[in-house]
Amino acid sequence: MNMGKRCLFLMAVLAAVNPAAAMAQTGFSKWYFQDESDRVEVYYAVKVDRDEIRVAWKCVNTGSEARACSIGAGGEKTYLCRRDGVGVGVTSSLGERAAVGAGREYVFPSDFACRGKAANEVQPSVRISIER
């Protein structure tokens, strides 16, 4: 296998392992800490595009037992949209839940936020629930 084919194969394997994690790395900001509960840390990253902002969420289980991580805690995720520090609206999306193994992390597929608001900043406002 030549070098180009090896690189393509490795990229395909990495995407198959966790496609959301691979996607969340491309063009997204660094991970920002949101909350921590029962040894599960929750982070978000953002990607600002011309007419929308995408928000990716990540749960990191630093404990020794599996946990369920809920972003939105049975409700919606709310995004406060801003343009140059000035509020331009609010959007929301359905909450999500995933099992996170001990010592593992889970990256949720990214959400559309602030679509059509001409925003260049977002502040997530969500409830977090961690269950055993």
> Alpha carbon of 132 to those of 1, 7, 51, 58, 70: distances in Å?
45, 39, 39, 18, 11
Percent of the chain at pLDDT > 90 equals: 79
Tens of pLDDT, residue by residue over 4-18, are 544 333 333 333 334
Tens of pLDDT, residue by residue over 3-54, are 454 433 333 333 333 444 544 458 999 999 999 999 999 999 999 998 899 9
The CATH-assigned architecture of domain 27-131 is Sandwich (2.60)
> Alpha carbon of 27 to those of 47, 48, 54, 100: distances in Å?
6, 9, 10, 25
Q: Which residues contact 12 (CB under 8 A, 6 or more apart)?
A: none
Q: Are 22 and 14 in contact (CB under 8 A)?
A: yes
CA gap 41, 62 in Å, rounded? 8
Percent of the chain at pLDDT > 70 equals: 81
Tokens 């990253």, located at residue: 45
